[in-house]
Structure 1
C-alpha cells in the first residue's frame, strides 16, 4: 500500500469500525467517543491514538476545524432514532447525530464521508430525511450513495444488516465501487467451537453441530435498558434453536460436567467473535455488561474493512473510472416537490392536487396524507386552507445540525448519564 490515509472517526465506540478502517490502510488522526468504557478500550488497544472523550457535538471535546482536509470522516452515529425496535423519533430524538455528522463535512471538508446505521433508516418512514441528507451533501459538493450491507456477506456469522452512507468528491466518486460479498459466513457452532470446548465441556462437539446457522442480530442495548442480554423474545427463540441460552451472558465457557436445559450462555469473548473480531484480537475494558454493550453496538470490523478498502481504492483512483458519477436517485418525490416550491417562493402553499401534478403521480388522498404525516415528523410542515382546499408548505428540518439553541442540548444534558 502507499501512504496511510488519515481518518477522523466520530462516535467511535469500542473500535469495530476503527479496526476495520485500520486494516483497510487508514490511520487515525482522532477518535471521538462519549462512553468512558469504550474510550478506555480504545486506549488499551491503540495507546498511540488520540482519543477525545465526551459529547462529540460539544466544541470543548474537540475542534473539528483542526482536522480540516482529512482524507476520511467516518462514524457510527447513534441508532436509537431510527431502529424499528424503538419509537423512530428520527430528527426529534436528542441522540440523533446523523444530520449533524453530514453538516460536519462543511467544516472538516474530508475527501470522503462514511456513516453507518441500522436498517430502519432505509425504511419509508425516513424517505424525506434521507433525501435531505443527499441534497445537503450535493450542496456541499459531494456525490453520495446509500447501500444496505449484510455482515454475513463478509464472513461475520451473524444476521446484521447495516445501512451505509458513502459520500465522495466527484473526482473520486468515479472510482468508487461497493464491496462485493466475500463468501458464506461460518455457522455459530463453527465460529465458537474452540471457545466452547476451552473449559473442557463434554458437550462442546455436539453443540457445535447443533448450532449450524448464523446468529440473529446481536443487540447491545443502552444504559436505559437492563444488563447484558442477547435480545428481545423473538431473538431469544432464534438463539434457543442454536442451543444458546440468551437470558444473559456467561462469565466463563462451560465446565466439563455442565448440563443445560437450552444450552450454554455466551461469554463476551464469544459475542466479540460473532461480531467479527478474531479471538484475542481486541481487549474490552469494563465489567461484563459494559463490555457486552461495547461489543453489541459495534460495526463489525470485516464490514468496516471492506467498505474502507472500497473508499481507499476510490481515493487512490484504482481501477477504471465510471463515466457517470451520479449518486443515489431521488428518494422521496414528495419531499423534493415541497422543497422545490419552498426554494422557488418561500410563501407558496401546495394543495393535494398541486402536489400530485408536480410529482407526476396520482395518489389516493389518504396515502398522500400518510406520507405528509411521516414527513412532518422530521420537518416543520405548515398547513393552511386556501379557497376551501387544504394546502401545505415545507418548513425547517427539525434535526440538530449544530444549532446553539437547539433543544437537543437541554434534553441531552438532562439524560447525559443514560445516553450511550
Structure 2
C-alpha cells in the first residue's frame, strides 16, 4: 500500500473537550484512543463520538491506559494539548518542576510508542526565553529518538477563527516524511465578533443586536477557560476585560441565554457558552458542530481551554499530507529547522563530562558578557540539575540531568499530583 492510500490513525492525550480531536478528524485522522482527566470533558467526547475509545484519568498513570501495549505502537500520530500552567505567563512558569508538566513525558512517550508523527500544542509562554533550554532539550531528545522537529507560534485568527489566541505548536516527523511537510498557510480572518455572533445575539428578540454587531467589529481577545483552582466563568483578567468592553461585551460572566427584548439596547450583553464556542472555532455554519456536557461554568471551561478546531485541522492536514507524501516535495536540507534555542544548554549537553567557562565559550563560539554566564547557569538550573567542581581554582560545570517528569515511578510529581488532584482540570 502506498502512503497516499492508507488510513491515518491518532492517539490523543489530554484530549480536553475535543477541539483538537474534531480538527484532526476533519484532517483525516481516525481516533484509536483519547485520554482525558476531566470527567465533564470525557462526557462531552462520548456525547459527540460514542464510538471512540475514551479513557478517563491521569494520562501518566498506567491504571488509566498502558502506552506500551502493542496495539498502540506505530500509530500515525500522537497528539495532545498537555497542561499549560507550567509555561503560562499568568502563572509562576515553574516549567519542569510543576507537577502538571507533561510535555517532556509526552516526548518520551513518542519514544515508547514510535508514532510516525508527533503534535503537541501549548501556550505562547513556552516560546519565551525562560524556556529556551527546555525547548532545546525537547528538540535534542526528539533527534535522539529519530525525529526531525520544529516549533511554530500560530494565531487562531490566521486560520478563520475570530480570536487572537496564540498557541505554540511542536511537530515531529520521521526523516522519510519530512520533505513533504509544510506548515499551513496563514491568512488573517475577516470575521469579527459581531459578524459571527449577530444572529445568536438576536435569537431572543434583542433589538440592539445590529448596533452591537457593528460595534463588535474586531476579533476577540484570547478566551481564558480557567480551571477548577482559579476563577469562574468570566472572560479573563483585567486587560482582557477592557478589550471585551471595547467590543461591547460584559466580560464579568457568561449568560445561560442571549438577551431578550427587555434588555436595554445601550447596555453591553454577556456571551453565552454557545457564543464562546463559535469564537473558539466551533461554528456549526462551517461544519464544526459539537455539543458540550455539564452546567454553564463547566461548559465554558471546556470551551475556553480547547485548541480551536480549525487550527488543529490546518496543522493536522499538513501532517497528513506529509505522511501520505502529497504536495510539493522539498530537499531535506531546505526543510531542516536549525534553530538553536539555547547555545549554553547545547554546549553543556555535548560536553564530555565537566567543562570550564573557557571551554563552554569555545563551544558556543563567543564570549560571555560580564555576569551573563552566571545568569545563564542560574536560568538553566530552574529546569536542569547543574553540577560544578573546583580544580586548581577553576570551576567547571556539568549537565547532570533534567528535573522534569519523563515517566519515573519515583518522581515527586506523583505525590504533588495526588495532593492537587481535586484542583487539576
Task: State the TM-score, normalized to the length of structure 1.
Answer: 0.96
Counterpart for residue 62 of structure 2? 59
The answer to whether structure 1 residue 293 and structure 2 residue 301 are counterparts is yes
**How far 1:287 sits from its partner (Å)?**
1.0
Deviations along 1:38-79, one digit per CA (max 9) or x if unpaired, are: 000000000000000000000111111230010100000000
**How far 1:251 sits from its partner (Å)?**
0.9
The answer to whether structure 1 residue 99 and structure 2 residue 109 are counterparts is no
Structure 1 gap ranges (5+): none
Structure 2 gap ranges (5+): none
Counterpart for residue 307 of structure 1? 315
1:201–1:254 Cα contact (<8 Å) kept: yes
Counterpart for residue 216 of structure 1? 221
Distance in 2 (CA, whole Å) between partners of 1:402 and 1:328 is 28
Deviations along 1:334-363, one digit per CA (max 9) or x if unpaired, are: 10111111xx23xx1423x33222211222
Q: 2:144 aligns with which of 124, 128, 139?
A: 139
Q: CA RMSD in A?
A: 1.4
Q: Indicate the larger mover: 181-190 or 159-168.
A: 181-190
1:153–1:185 Cα contact (<8 Å) kept: no
1:154–1:185 Cα contact (<8 Å) kept: no
Q: Indicate the larger mover: 132-141 or 375-384.
A: 375-384
Aligned residues: 415
Deviations along 1:230-257, one digit per CA (max 9) or x if unpaired, are: 0000000000000000001111101112
Distance in 2 (CA, whole Å) between partners of 1:401 and 1:185 is 42
Distance in 1 (CA, whole Å) between partners of 2:7 and 2:267 is 48
**How far 1:3 sits from its partner (Å)?**
4.4
Counterpart for residue 319 of structure 1? 327
Counterpart for residue 418 of structure 1? 423
Q: 1:192 aligns with which of 192, 197, 209?
A: 197
Counterpart for residue 86 of structure 2? 81
Matched residue SS, 1:201: coil
Q: Are residues 262 and 4 of structure 1, via their aligned partners in 2, closer, same or farther at CA, if it must alter by over 3 Å?
A: farther
Distance in 2 (CA, whole Å) between partners of 1:274 and 1:320 is 33
Matches within 5 A, 1:214-363: 214-259=219-264, 263-279=268-284, 281-323=289-331, 324=333, 325-341=335-351, 344-345=352-353, 348-351=354-357, 353-363=358-368
Distance in 2 (CA, whole Å) between partners of 1:328 and 1:11 is 29
The answer to whether structure 1 residue 175 and structure 2 residue 180 are counterparts is yes
Matched residue SS, 2:312: helix
Distance in 2 (CA, whole Å) between partners of 1:230 and 1:254 is 18
Counterpart for residue 72 of structure 1? 77
**How far 1:261 sits from its partner (Å)?**
6.8
Distance in 1 (CA, whole Å) between partners of 2:19 and 2:262 is 35
Deviations along 1:129-163, one digit per CA (max 9) or x if unpaired, are: 00110111101101101111111000100011110
Distance in 1 (CA, whole Å) between partners of 2:111 and 2:378 is 30
Q: Are residues 3 and 349 of structure 1, via their aligned partners in 2, closer, same or farther at CA, if it must alter by over 3 Å?
A: closer
Matches within 5 A, 1:154-173: 154-173=159-178
